[in-house]
Structure 1
Amino acid sequence: MKTKTGKALFKYALTAKRTFILALVMLAIGVAADLAGPFIARNMIDNHMLAIEKPFYETNTASSETVSYNGKLYKRGDRFAADETKGGEVHLLQAGRPFYFVEGAVPDTTGERSFEGGVLTISKGGETLQYPAVKLSAKELYAFYKPELPGIRTLVLAYFGFLLISIIMEFGKTYWLQSSANKVIQKLRIDVYKHIQKLPVNYFDNLPAGKVVSRVTNDTEAVKDLFIAVLSNFFSGIINMLGVYVALFLLDFRLGLICLFVIPIIAAWVVLYRKFATRYNTIIRSRLSEINAIINESIQGMPVIRVFRRQEQTSDEFEALNDDYMKHQNKMLNLNALTSHNLVNVIRNLAFAVVLWYFGGGYLSATGIVSLGVLYAFVDVLGRLFQPITGMVNQLAALDSSLVSAGRVFELMDQPGVDVTDGGMPRYKGNVEFDDVSFAYKKDYVLKHISFTAKQGETVALVGHTGSGKSSIINLLFRFYDPQKGSIRIDGQEVTSLPKQWIRQHMGIVLQDPYLFTGTIASNVSLGDGRISRETVEKALKDVGADRILAHLPGGLDEPVVEKGSTLSAGERQLISFARALAFDPAILILDEATANIDTETEALIQSALEVLKKGRTTFIIAHRLSTIRSADQILVLHKGEVVERGSHDELLALGGRYYQMYRLQGGITDAAENGSGQVQEGSSGSSNPEAQGSSAPAAGSAGAADESKRPTASPLPNLS
């Protein structure tokens, strides 16, 4: 069942929930501190700068809040104590730029104002009121503003205090959010890599390595962007918008209601955007995986590409993929260009236009429906509303790309795997029994009714032309696959009843093309297993004769080994592989044409070591050079997935069947006629491969190859841990 991407991401986010919550708390505090600015500005305008037009009253008590004018003391009316006596009322009213002193009460200060001939005229709704007034000098006006300065200074300090809090919270939010995201991605990458180790071998048969690498690296990196950049902007945006709307409603309920139209527009916008963006991003991530796959394949196969002059064709394939990738990237760019800042600006300008149209009629005279301070603060807060919207819109592309990448990662993790079982089992003897085993990779059986017994210490050779089923038997023995029919037992115990890791713990393999890991010669022998000491490594290398071959290396056992051991010769790599198998002391040993890539001198050197290696172990040899298996206890000749002949080397030659013909094609028989004693005359064995000459062998038609080609290639790999 496919994992729901959102739920899976939420589950991973919970792994760092404490730091995520801390980041969100700091974000909320930072937003609140940031939104305090417009409220401070409103207070400064309405309660200090414009409050000078509030009524002043004469007083006899001097203080920091009183103003001296024409030998009298005045104080603003809202600053009198409850038991304090108020004297005569005066007003300071602005007409144009100057302010005028009006002695006496002014019931209504709203309306158009003008001053002429010592008279201040206020006109409103056809009614005209006139008051004797005196123009104030700058010094006199400053005297009335002076009591406001302490309050303004306090508000300015409060503003900088909130600004400092906002800066600290922004730093903390960014740090903890990124720290949480890194922790989540670290766990996600580890889980993905561990899951890859659990996937069955057949999963990788049709999936290029580059695509797997892309999901572990590129796709998880995109998920990291989701937690760091996308969620940061969206969390910040949502909390900012909530804070802004709270501020708008606190400033004026009607203003807040008018600006609610922004929310459905953004919601519809996101839904419509994702409808197109998801389609493009799915193709983009897929093409990126394919590009990684073709690069990986080209690097691995560079010698073949150069030898067969396939550079131009390979470049054309890469260019076609890259062009398609760029085409869909350009589609995403067009989509982002059409729906990013342009739409934000349209919505913002529309909101400002509606607000100014509805509330701005009396704005310039400060006598509108709302006060100048409220309108200023509202415009400031409304501008802040579109900052998080812009941030969220700019992250829509990254959001969709991240969700697509996350879906690809979780699709990989949804693939059924085999849990790694802790512990192990005692070293078994190695008695192997195949009982009427039939197996198919897909539909057609590649092994049919295979039955044989290999006792401890015996050597069993598997021979046959390509496609006969030799590697399939080894794959079943390692439990890379399980048979559809029949059973396989080790020491009488059914292998399917045991964890795969336990079985492989006491198996070893030497491949025709051994794989070496980046590290040193010593680490490639021990594979980092703490149970294998350096002395064991040295002894294993010495027993297989590698100490003499590798003596020229300046680093000795600590000589660096690059990927695949490309700086070493084929013989040196094979010797290290032999030493690896010997160091792990397996009960069952598989030699997959282990001496095929070794020169004659090196082969002679390790033949005696092989006898030591095989001693006491059940050994399976996949043989192409039949001369290497003449001492095998049992030889199984496979054809089209069936055992057609079995016996020792001499018995099979005497039989005169398929094995006899294969051996003869390799030059192992110099005289086809039997001598008088009935024994076949053998000559020196050649080294030609029967598979290269299989077309000349009697009864070795192409059916076997065709049968084996129906399955995906799956070379068995060692699991010695």
Structure 2
Amino acid sequence: MHDEDFEWELDRDAVRRAKPGKRLFQYAMTYKKTIIFALAMLLIAIGTELVGPFIAKRMIDVHIAGIEQSWYRATAEDAKTVPFEGALWKRADRFAEGEARGEEARVLQVGRGFVFVPGGIETDGERSITEDGSLRIVRGGESRVYEASVLSNADIFAFYRPEVDGILQLSWLYLGLLLVSAGFSWGQRYYLQASANRIIRKMRDDVFAHINKLPIRYFDNLPAGKVVSRITNDTEAIKELYVTVLANFFSGTLYILAIIGAMFFLDARLALACTIVIPLLALWIVVYRKFAAGYNRVIRSTLSEMNGMINESIQGMPIIQAFRREKQTETEFETMNTRYFDYRNKMLRLNSLTSHNLVGVFRNVAFVAMIWYFGGVSINGVQGAVSLGVLYAFVDYLNRMFQPVVNIVNQLPNLEQALVSAERVFVLLDEKGEDVSDETMPRYRGDVKFDDVCFSYKEGEPVLKGISFEAKQGQTVALVGHTGSGKSSILNLLFRFYDVDSGRITVDGVDINTLPRQTLRRHMGIVLQDPFLFTGTIASNVSLDDPSISRERIEKALKDVGGERMLASLANGIDEPVIEKGSTLSAGQRQLISFARALAYDPAILILDEATSNIDTETEAVIQEALDVVKQGRTTFVIAHRLSTIKSADQILVLDRGVVAERGSHDELMALGGKYYQMYQLQQGGARAEAGAPTSSGTAAGTPAIAAQA
């Protein structure tokens, strides 16, 4: 099977209708207050964190590199003065307004040491110490020598002592802001993830509720495993979108914008040099998405196919093993798994080519270029160069800016996977459904009339052609005919699992198409050939957890269908546990529970779709006896292959290729000598053959053809 074969699951028109981005935003807005609160906390966290480089800049420029400012002799000692060589010295920016200043001096760093230069310097440039301990400054080929004293470690610390309090205050402020930022970061992450969990809970509720609104026809074309995959796997991928992807995109975008703003505030030239990363990131995302979207569609579709096959294989394991299909099934699964593996590898190669390592290259190139140019001119004292504090702040900001870029890039695979999953979920949600109605109506009599009803599962392939008949309250109508003749289709229409193409079906004279499906079915009961039991107990399977059905009513329903013997053999009675599909119970026990379930709801119309074909003769006899009682006052429709079980029916309809070929009671149809007569004689002949009796000569003519039909 080629990859194109999976396009039916996500046809492009349906995807366009789904508009995943807009729909995901609408879901997010369901909890917009919490999200806005989280984003406000994020802004505070980013703001407090990005103040750090400003603090570091001030610490460097004012308290550390500020030692190289001009120093002047002070006349009075205070907290900002420094004693050196018998005099008091104070930095130029520490003098109060109007305070007297003496002669100037400079403290300059040369290599790894410092020198004290009385009288100051005229220009700055490349510094060095001469052999006699003087300071030489070279700039533009011009050299100047100044008298200088090399400072000891104690002297250096003395000149820094006035700045210690300021450095400590800024350090405590920095630490406090980091704690505030950490607290608000935790809060925004918690509230964003809590919102994401609520969004996904609502989405799953919506998807599951919508499944209940979809017509049965929809499930004819989509295996159960694929529906399960959309509810579980796809919504889980969308959860990652809200929890991780959008959190990183929101926080990363705000973080990058805030950092760029801070850069422009510090120095516009440096900021312009660093913003080149923004168009590169945008181009990166566009190119990545172009390839990743197609890969992820195949990945999600293949995963859905695999889930569908696993579900089908588990359900059909007895058949697979009985017919020795294990190897073929493994081969089919291996084909799907290999496709999944191949496209996962394609995504892996794409992610490797566009991984965060490429971000690291961009970052390092930006660092080298910035430090080489701006750092060089700062050190050489070129006019208009940035300070060391600004340079440090830019390096810090640049490093911080690339971290959200890395986070965004790392989330691109999850983003594409989530968007593809969202497409699949929204395509399901866009399927036309019908709201579940809570409307109630009084229990109707049960007079049913089919008036020239036509129906087809596929357009142009009619299954029923002009079906007309009438069933009165208390009557039993039996439907017989070969496989595919339309028996089950009639009951599917009556139950409104499907709607008629033309004609009318009325109950007590009311067109059933004018009634909500749930309202119509409220007074109907159905027993299928293969009963379905849910995990729980016998009691919960009879009542389906309807609070209006009491325990006494459950017990009475089981008694009415002859279930006393079944209950007597179970240790917990009606509280006996039932696992999935009732696999620990016999076919007869499951069918008895199914009968009791139908009767517990006291239906006006009872539908039995080959309900006794899979049970033993003894259990069938018990049920038939019970049915003779429970049919009273109810309109009953029976599909039966064992014609002996419908001899007492008020009306028997013999269907052939979608039309009513014969109708009447058992005696009338036998007297007619047509299709029903031949079918009955064939079955009776088969029963006598099994008992060792000779086959009736009445079945000789035309028997093979009828047997094939039966």
CA contact (8 A) 2:75 2:101 kept: no
Q: What amino acid is aligned across from residue 556 of structure 1 in structure 2?
A: G
List runs of 5+ in structure 2 lacking aligned partners. Answer: 1-13
Q: What's the counterpart of residue 674 of structure 1?
A: none
Secondary structure of 1:638's aligned partner:
strand
Matched to 1:50, the amino acid is A
CA deviation after TM superposition for structure 1 residue 580, in Å: 0.5
Shift of 1:217: 0.4
Deviation at 1:121, TM superposition (A): 2.2
- 1:127, CA displacement in angstroms? 2.8
CA–CA separation in structure 2 for the residues paired with 1:14 and 1:255: 38
CA contact 1:437–1:449 (8 Å) conserved in 2: yes
Q: 2:608, 2:637 within 8 Å by CA — same for their partners in 1?
A: yes
Contact conserved, 1:667 with 1:685, CA < 8 A, in 2? no
Contact 1:111 1:367 in 2 (8 A): no
The verdict on how the C-alpha distance between 1:372 and 1:93 changes in structure 2, with shifts beyond 3 A counting, is same
* 2-structure distance, mates of 1:698, 1:74: 123
2:28 pairs with one of 1, 6, 13: 13
Q: Confirm whether residue 284 of structure 1 aligns to residue 299 of structure 2.
A: yes
**Worse-matched range after superposition: 347-356 or 590-599:** 347-356
Distance 1:684 1:428, change over 3 A: farther
Distance in 2 (alpha carbons) for counterparts of 1:700 and 1:551? 41
Q: Aligned partners of 1:276, 1:412: CA distance in 2, in Å?
A: 25
Q: Which residue of 512, 522, 528 maps to 1:495?
A: 512
Give yes or no for contact 1:248–1:256 (8 Å, CA) kept in 2: yes
d(CA) in 2 for partners of 1:195, 1:231: 26
Partner of residue 389 from structure 1, selected from 405, 416, 419: 405
8 Å CA contact 1:31–1:240 kept in 2: the answer is yes
Partner of 1:414: 430
Identity of aligned residues (%): 60
Counterpart secondary structure, 2:444: coil
Superposition deviation, residue 408 in structure 1:
0.4
Q: Which amino acid aligns with 1:57?
A: Y
Do the aligned partners of 1:5 and 1:410 also contact (CA within 8 Å) in 2? Answer: yes
Q: CA deviation at 1:697?
A: 5.2
List aligned pairs for 1:45-444, cutoff 5 A: 45-364=60-379, 369-442=385-458, 443-444=460-461
Q: CA deviation at 1:60?
A: 2.4
Q: How does 1:320-719 map to 2 (within 5 A)?
A: 320-364=335-379, 369-442=385-458, 443-667=460-684, 696=703, 698=705
Task: Tell me what 2:3 maps to.
Answer: none
The separation in 1 between residues aligned to 2:171 and 2:347, in whole angstroms, is 46
Instruction: Give the secondary structure class of the aligned counterpart of 2:30.
Output: helix
Question: 1: distance between equivalents of 2:175 and 2:343?
Answer: 47
- Which residue in 2 is equivalent to 1:676? none
Any idea what the Cα deviations from partners look like across 1:237-266, whole Å, max 9, x if unmatched?
A: 111111211122122110100112111111
CA distance change for structure 1 residues 623 and 157 in 2, over 3 Å: closer, same or farther?
Answer: same
- State the alpha-carbon separation in 1 of the partners of residues 478 and 512 from structure 2: 21
Cα drift, residue 699 of structure 1: 6.1
For 1:109, give the aligned amino acid.
D
1:533-556 Cα distance to aligned partner (Å, 9 max, x none): 111111111121112212121221
The 3 A distance-change label for structure 1 pair 194 and 18 is same
Q: Contact 1:433/1:488 (CA < 8 Å) preserved in 2?
A: yes
One-letter code of the match for 1:70?
Answer: E
Q: Which residue of 2 aligns with 1:678?
A: none
Q: Distance in 1 between matches of 2:336 and 2:486?
A: 37
Equivalent position SS for 1:62: coil
Q: 1:379 to 1:43 in 2, by over 3 A?
A: same
In the alignment, is the contact (CA less than 8 A) between 2:134 and 2:147 conserved in 1?
A: yes
Greater CA deviation, 657-666 or 358-367?
358-367
- Give per-residue Cα distances to partners, 1:376-432, cap 9 Å, x unaligned: 221111111111111111111110001000100001111101111222111111000
In structure 2, the CA distance between the partners of 1:520 and 1:366, relative to structure 1 (3 Å rule), is: farther
Letter in structure 2 aligned against 1:414:
D
Q: Aligned in 2, Cα 1:57/1:575: closer, same or farther, shift over 3 Å?
A: same
Q: 2:575 and 2:668 mapped to 1: Cα distance?
A: 47
| In 1, Cα distance between equivalents of 2:527 and 2:352 | 58
SS in 1 for 2:499: coil
CA distance in 1, matches of 2:537, 2:380: 84
Task: For residue 338 of structure 1, report the CA deviation from its aligned partner.
Answer: 0.9
1:685 Cα deviation after fit: 14
> Does the Cα contact within 8 Å between 2:649 and 2:665 map onto a contact in 1?
yes
Following the alignment from structure 1 to structure 2, what is the Cα–Cα distance between the partners of residues 377 and 163? Answer: 16
Q: CA deviation at 1:366?
A: 6.5
User: Alpha-carbon deviation of 1:130?
Assistant: 2.8
- The answer to whether the Cα contact below 8 Å between 1:291 and 1:322 also exists between their aligned partners in 2 is yes
Once the 2 structures are TM-superposed, how far is the Cα of residue 110 of structure 1 from its aligned partner?
3.9
How many Å separate the matches in 2 of 1:576 and 1:685? 35
User: Which amino acid counterpart does residue 223 of structure 2 have in structure 1?
Assistant: P
Output one character per residue of 1:517-536: Cα deviation in whole Å (capped at 9) or x when no partner: 01110000000111101111
TM-score by length of 2: 0.94
What is the deviation of 1:97?
2.4
Q: What is the RMSD of the two structures over their aligned residues, measured on CA atoms?
A: 2.1
Counterpart selection for 2:46 from 21, 31, 38: 31
Q: Secondary structure at the match of 2:307?
A: helix
CA distance in 2, matches of 1:300, 1:96: 80
Letter of the structure 2 residue corresponding to residue 580 of structure 1: R
Pick closer, same or farther for the CA change 1:103–1:695 going to 2, 3 Å: farther
| CA distance in structure 2 between the partners assigned to 1:244 and 1:197 by the alignment | 50
CA deviation vs aligned residue, 1:165-196 (integer Å, no higher than 9, x gap): 12112211221111000000000000000011
Tell whether the 8 Å contact from 1:102 to 1:133 is kept in structure 2 after alignment.
yes
Q: Is the 8 A contact 1:627 1:668 kept in 2?
A: no
Per-residue Cα deviation, 1:590-649 (whole angstroms, up to 9, x for no partner): 011111122122122222211122111000000110011011000001001000111000
Deviations 1:77-121 (A, max 9, x none): 111111322222221122222222222243333443434424322
Q: Deviations over 1:38-63 (max 9, x none)?
A: 22221111111111010112222322
Aligned amino acid, residue 640 of structure 1: R
Q: Which amino acid aligns with 1:444?
A: E
C-alpha distance in 2, partners of 1:426/1:83? 100
TM score, norm. by length of structure 1: 0.92
Structure-1 separation of matches of 2:692 and 2:685 = 4
User: In structure 2, how many angstroms separate the alpha carbons of the residues matched to 1:452 and 1:685?
Assistant: 40
- Name the aligned partner's letter for residue 51 of structure 1: G
Q: Deviations along 1:491-521, whole A, 9 cap, x unmatched?
A: 0011111111110111100111111001110
